[in-house]
Structure 1
Amino acid sequence: MKVAVIGAGAWGSTLVGLAKENGHSVKVWSRQSPHSLEQVIDGANLVVSAISMKGVRSVISQLKSLSLSPDTIFITATKGLDPSGTELNLPRLPSQLWQSAFPTHAVAILSGPNLSKEIQHGLPAASVIASKNLEAAKQVQVVLSSSRFRIYTNSDPLGVELGGALKNVIAIAVGACDGLQLGTNAKAALVTRGLAEMIRIGTYWGAKAETFYGLSGLGDLLATCNSALSRNYQVGYGLAQGKTLEEVLSQLEGTAEGVNTTHVLIRLADQQNISVPISFQVHQLLQREVTPQAAVAALMLRDSKPEV
């Protein structure tokens, strides 16, 4: 098949490699590309968006003026929330932006515990492709699956996409936990309660609770919270070490989507009265309104309650 990958960062480059290994024809476009976007997507069966959240609207705008086959499938691999999409008190996700712009095309979400550098080094991984169009999801599954990259289909695209976005917020908290050297018990509690918070948010917005126990929820959460390769983990770790957010972000290779996601999430949670204690402390930390130590104290001293 002909595959067009938009975005030449770590994840985009990884997906290019996976498609090429399966014998597909792959073209790549980025802002530094010598080829035009029109040349790259010409005749593409699959268009993979592997760009940061802040670039999605711009790329969609450019693509809308180009000619595409009606059978072209869009795959979004962006994990975030649109910062300009909270006017209706609902999250605006990358797939929704793509579907709104291309209503007659199939749109699928690729998400999971997929640290790019590990996959690039040939280590095995698994992921999820979710879509309302199951046949489109199966096509993507065939194109990208291999002996070292196993893909499952899922019929809950909302849950899969929210899992990939929300876990980045929790990863910042866990990075701070490790940066403060609070130990394994604290980290285990934070990850577990973080998952509960993700499920609470996701089900409020219409996702299935069981989706968050899968690869795009718990799986991605575990990978992101246990690896220094995670940019969001690095943000929390750096803040706990006394660095400013600007200092941490300037040293990252790529975008830490959890920073923007946190701000959008808190705005929505405030509007809808969703309980997000961990995310709220992350937001306070990013805003320099609380120290890492004070954030921990605030979580530990919350009113007692049942676990479930």
Structure 2
Amino acid sequence: MTQDSTSLSQPPVPHQPLTLAILGAGAWGSALAQLARYNGHTVNLWSRRFGNSLEESINAVDVLVSAISMRGVAVTAQQLQTLKLPEKIPIVTATKGLDPDSTRTPSQLWGNWFPQHPIVVLSGPNLSAEIEQGLPAATVVASENLEAAKIVQTVFASNRFRVYTSSDPMGTELGGTLKNVIAIAAGVCDGLQLGTNAKSALLTRALTEIIRIGTHLGGKTETFFGLSGLGDMLTTCNSALSRNYRVGYGLAEGKSLEQVLTELGSTAEGVNTTNVLIEIAHRERIPVPISWQVYQLLNHQITPQKAVEALMERDLKPEFYDR
């Protein structure tokens, strides 16, 4: 066996082995745990389902990773505040969503509760089922603290998982969050069998919409053309492994939202994100025509067919114009 083939079959020699606490043992948390262990790190995987101690899970850890659903972030963070989290360790948020009470992103919530800790956002085109199969993938770790981002980069980077750093946590986080809304629309498009032309138009205009929202809220334009923006959107909008895509597809088949969610048996963050996004868009006066149709569809105000008609019948205008 050649040296090159050996390097592809074996994990790289890790930097100094670290101990991680990964909060959330769902598909994404488990995939991240697998990636860290592949590099020789110790992982304390915590879940309410396990009934294991949160206090013991965070004891003497070097990095804390939050892979819990959006609805569990506030409760878990408040519980952590009553415990002794090791000082100044990086807190990595891998949750894609918006808080319905404050309309904040997960990184904003963690930063507010733990201001003395560097906050790192991990987001990218990462379908957990493919990662657990050992298929190659790439992601972004973003933080205002570049050293913290580099630590997280070395924890997860391997010959099957390429990790890039970024100094734009807000853009990185919003790209991964907002694409879940678009994935629902993409599922509707495929479920109605509207064809490749229609879907290409949808995704292109959706990227424009995401950039409009994301830059208004503080993200950098170029971030949305990267892995955590366009890359994540393309993955999520084209795979039946995506729960949000399956929500849209199921609605297009005539199923109720409640039926679709029951069949999924797990959280589709795009549903909550859509409702919070519309609240933000109204408050900030941001035009979001695609997200608005998804919102109406999820809230039983319109049929999938009428949502498509509404988008097609909008006023004619140039493709690009100064806002």
For normalisation by structure 1, the TM-score amounts to: 0.97
User: What corresponds to 1:268 in structure 2?
Assistant: 280
Tell me, which stretches of 5 or more residues in structure 1 are unaligned?
Answer: 87-91
Distance 1:203 1:100 in 2: 21
CA shift, 1:205, in A, is 1.2
**What runs of 5+ residues in structure 2 fail to find an aligned partner?**
1-17
Equivalent residue, structure 2, for 1:93 = 105
CA deviations 1:192-239 (Å, max 9, x no partner) are 100000000011112111100000000000000000000000000000
1:234 paired residue among 232, 246, 268: 246
AA aligned to 1:273 is: R
Residue number in structure 1 paired with 2:264: 252
SS at match of 2:83: coil
The answer on 1:152 being equivalent to 2:169 is no
- Tell me the equivalent position of 1:113: 125
Q: Deviations over 1:1-59 (max 9, x none)?
A: 00000000000000000000100111111012242000101011111100100000000
1:177 match: 189
Q: Which residue of 2 aligns with 1:75?
A: 92
| Partner AA of 1:19 in structure 2 | A
Match of 1:301 in 2: 313
Aligned residue pair count = 303
> In the TM superposition, what whole-angstrom CA distance separates every residue of 1:266-308 from its partner, at most 9, and x where no partner exists?
0111122110000000000001110000000000000011111
> Could you list the per-position Cα deviations for residues 62-120 of structure 1 after superposition, in whole angstroms to 9, with x for gaps in the alignment?
1001112213110000000010014xxxxx00011111111000110000000000011
For residues 258 and 238 of structure 1, the distance between their equivalents in structure 2, rounded to whole angstroms, comes to 14
Correspondence 1:27 to 2:5:
no
Amino acid at match of 1:59: T
Q: 1:45 corresponds to which residue?
A: 62
| 1:208 correspondence with 2:220 | yes
Q: CA RMSD in A?
A: 0.7
SS across alignment from 2:95? coil
Quote the Cα distance in structure 1 between the aligned partners of 2:52 and 2:307: 48
CA deviation string 1:128-179 (max 9, x = no partner): 0000100000000001000000000000100000001100000000000000
Residue 174 (structure 2) aligns with: 162
Tell me the amino acid that sits aligned with residue 40 of structure 2: G
Cα distance, 1:253 vs structure 2: 4.1
CA distance in 2, matches of 1:35, 1:172: 35
Question: Which secondary structure does the structure 2 equivalent of 1:248 belong to?
Answer: helix
Contact 1:45/1:71 (<8 A) preserved? no
User: Normalization by structure 2: what TM-score?
Assistant: 0.93
- The runs of at least 4 aligned residues of structure 1 exceeding 4 Å deviation read none
